[in-house]
Amino acid sequence: MSYEEHKWFIEHTSPGTAHMFGVTSFLRSFRTDYQQVEIADTELYGRILILDGKIQSSEFDEYMYHEALVHPAMLMCPAPRCVLVIGGGEGATLREVFRHPMVEKLVMVDLDQKVVEQCRELLGSWHQGSFDDKRLELVYADARDYLENIDDRFDVIISDVPEPVEVGPATKLFTRQYFEMLKERLTETGLVALQAGDYGKPFIEAHSAIYNTIKQVMPFARSYRSFIPSFNTEWGFVVAAPYKLDLPTTFMFDTLIAERNLTLNYFDGITAKGMFSIPKDIRNIIDNETRIIDDDNLFTTY
């Protein structure tokens, strides 16, 4: 297909930058009560999910994002039997959690039922039937309302919600108060994992603020990253726990993967070593961050 024959989706990453995708077909375009949604097929990245003008994941590389998000925390937890996923509408986060054989129950809380229903219909290669797993309890609710009204505790909590953009529904899911709620809902050996924004300069300020905020709540917190081609940048994540913890070595990650008989395409001990090895200039930025995101002092990115 020539350049002239393409339809183009342009993701504006800042007022002065953009990322273009050659679209072969727009499958869905609609607005829910919470956000604008597009699902499209592209020539290079396959099918893509777009929320409020931002690429959430692509068929080509979603496994990189979801394995990076899920497996460090799941492997660092000695017995992840009960897991909470907040967001994760594509179902790929569920898919990766269910790879761990000791998982007995997974609760997924998502605000936007319409998005989940469309993902369930059109993104089968993402969820691979995970929505039909009998261990899944699917709840459509505001995450903070849900957390305030339960007594359950979880071995791992994975927060996979969109960036805190001004127009988005997830702004209060990156605050100190939210992280305190997550802490209260963890078991004694529980961990939290979250997607935490763009890791590339000059757009890392959201990640550094998120990371500094969760450090105020969790004694153990580690920032890490993975390059996601469809995002055209390194993407940031955080794994945290309400107790002191040592990051596993390369050998320990590989041993845990083997013990759980996991077949992964992206994540292993060597990958983990790279993800947690942060360049000096980025370390300086996140280590010197002073902002704390609060319910009364929200942070939004472009």
Kindly report whether the global pTM for this prediction surpasses the value 0.85.
yes
Report the distance separating Cα 278 and Cα 255, nearest Å: 23
Counted residue by residue, the chain has a size of 302
Token pair in block for residue 162: 């969109």
Q: Report the catalytic residues.
A: 160
Candidates 3.40.50.150, 3.40.50.740, 3.40.50.970, 3.60.9.10; correct CATH number of 62-287?
3.40.50.150
Contact 143, 86 (CB under 8 A): yes
Report the distance separating Cα 49 and Cα 51, nearest Å: 7
The answer, yes or no, to whether the previous bond of 162 is cis (omega within 30 of 0) is no
CA distances 252 to 47, 247, 259, Å, are: 35, 9, 10
Token pair in block for residue 221: 């917190």
CA dihedral sign, ordered 286, 245, 70, 257? positive
Kindly report, as residue ranges, where domains of CATH 3.40.50.150 are found in the chain.
62-287
Give every CB contact of residue 297 below 8 A, 6+ residues apart in sequence. Answer: none
Strand partners, 235: 198, 226
Give the full edge-to-edge strand order of the sheet including 7-14. 7-14, 17-31, 36-42, 46-51, 54-58
Note the CATH number of domain 3-56: 2.30.140.10
* Other CB atoms within 10 A of residue 273 CB: 13
Give every CB contact of residue 247 below 8 A, 6+ residues apart in sequence. Answer: 76, 222, 276
Name the E strands within the chain: 7-14, 17-31, 36-42, 46-51, 54-58, 82-87, 105-110, 136-140, 154-160, 186-198, 220-228, 233-241
* pLDDT given for residue 198 in this prediction: 92
- Per-residue confidence of the chain (302 residues) as pLDDT tens digits? 455 566 888 988 777 888 888 999 999 999 999 999 999 999 999 999 999 888 999 999 999 999 999 999 999 999 999 999 999 999 999 999 999 999 999 999 999 999 999 999 999 999 999 999 999 999 999 999 999 999 999 999 999 998 776 655 688 999 999 999 999 999 999 999 999 999 988 889 999 999 999 999 999 999 999 999 999 999 999 999 999 999 999 999 999 999 999 999 999 999 999 999 999 999 999 999 999 999 888 877 65
Kindly report, as residue ranges, where domains of CATH 2.30.140.10 are found in the chain.
3-56
Q: Kind of pairing, strands 36-42 and 46-51?
A: antiparallel
CA distances 254 to 43, 63, 65, 220, 241, Å, are: 35, 18, 19, 22, 21
The closest of 247, 200, 195, 199 to 221, measured between CA atoms, is 247
* pLDDT given for residue 282 in this prediction: 94
* Other CB atoms within 10 A of residue 141 CB: 14
* Residue recorded with tokens 């000791």: 102
- Cβ neighbourhood burial of 261 (10 Å; 0-12, 13-18, 19+): exposed
